[in-house]
Structure 1
């Protein structure tokens, strides 16, 4: 017997993408809902304090609803918010960030929290990880389906730049022809050079390097090394981080989880020495190449685990500044404790997950450091993801 249906009104969007409503004292999470929706839903999971439900019928759409542009939307797991107008997406992300920080860090009530919109809500993505599977009657390439490890076959993606869609088309032809690939294939495109790279281009795991530009600097990047997926917003991200370092001194700066040097190279123009710590060998190698290409001889790229480096006792003198841009899992409590022990004047934390950001910030604030700047960037329109930059200054 199917669970009974019930009506629910959606109050807001949550991190994770679902809309949130309430019914009979319980929170109700509904995917692909929009604020202001009045819905008939059916429960698919019921816990003590919340219910997960799916839409049976939209009784009355909320004012922010819009028509999704992608035929795979709601099947492909790549997007969650194509059914919501872009201005409302940005407002929802700002609200999510603000509510989280205000709850965990009351001192942020006096700090303006903004969310920078992307100038191009579609056609912005210049890198992607594709899923490849052998199947009958033909092999498939695409993205994981919503809440599943099954692959939705996708021939084009409206989030991709035109060059990245060309790369996907070329890869798709080879997959269908029977060329064997790993189950995950990274694609990377450069609009500036009208080229793309990755397994589809070379048949190798890394592919050739292409050039990305952010501000005054150029960066060699391969599909095997992390670089931001939204070229339109990457320059803004780098500029925000650079502006956060003003007044932090001019001695040693640590760039942790440095990648190919997006923040490292601008820092080298402001500090006498920059140590760029990155655990991925390919990214660290490219950081060295990019540093030399920029004419910076005061950068020390170190290929090492960040925590092991911080525990090594090799940091001298103590840094004036620490910049960190960890993966979605965050830096971790031990890394934050070690950073606190170094007593830098300024910490700049770049995060792609506000929940792990809050966990990590709680190690140093309130107390030793105060949060004095927060800025969000919508690097990922049509999804619930966003980037956050937080500056912390020594002294409570």
Structure 2
């Protein structure tokens, strides 16, 4: 029997049949066991009123030998379901990296030497700084990490070197007086984290951090899952979206023997450093890391589902880098081989189903909030387009008037020359 076509038909993907046939062929086709497993996932999630992603569930089955009806692979989960756990209106406040020293109460984080908030300069303790004071704060010939403070997914992260009056990165030079013009109104400069040799050996140019997930459920905070994020191609960040790799971490801290990239390729050898992921490695003091993120979550009352980026310090202890309130949740599950909500899956799926049917529930509120955001973005784009059109019109008017004025001057000059 052709289980590939049967599975495609069962998932209602007939219009993509040719594309999906090629996709499944590349992974070795669909067996009877895989068909039965994936069909049961689709049936369960459809009954619950949720979408199921055929490709992602299939890859999960291939990677981990079994699937789970509680694996939530649709991209809708990020924008709608997680909004049932996190207050999206407060995300901007919690995500500003310049506020971490106020919000995140731990000494186990990199020291921020310089911060720029809405184009105003401050030191580590939020004391105001003048431009000429930067040279006394940043040590000459020392490397630092510069980050834009209101961006995510590894954007705006650079390893820089300080000099008397400027910073360098690669072949670029930025004078202190031009920092705001170059990096915007909001950024910070931190000490470089010294990471454990077990982890730095994988890709020394980046801080290879753990993405650890905690969940507040029924009034108690639980550790859910974790995976290691590894940089590539000499870049300073470790995000999968910028070319990095992800490695699953078991509950006892042991790394999986393969990595996954954004294109969902399985990788045994690091493409840049040649590191062999098949060698056995266990995160030191892993239970301490779990307790660390659970304790940090207690200071985040508006969000019940939090992803933490935590470095493994050279002393084997956790170092906070940042927290996130969305994330590619389907990737979390594909990398770790675990359903998103672990032992609470049935309870939470039931809760989400009830929320979908409750007009005043957080699920519909989250959808309305998302629609409001889309509407605001459209309005913003419309206003920006009108402003550009207006600016272009003004520019054209000025240019025409200037041309007429210059023409008039030239005409008058020629007239005087003739006289």
TM-score (ref. length: structure 1): 0.25
Structure richer in helix, relative to its length: 2
User: Highest Rg: 1 or 2?
Assistant: 2
Structure richer in strand, relative to its length: 1
TM-score (ref. length: structure 2): 0.24
Higher relative contact order (CA 8 A, sep 6+): 2
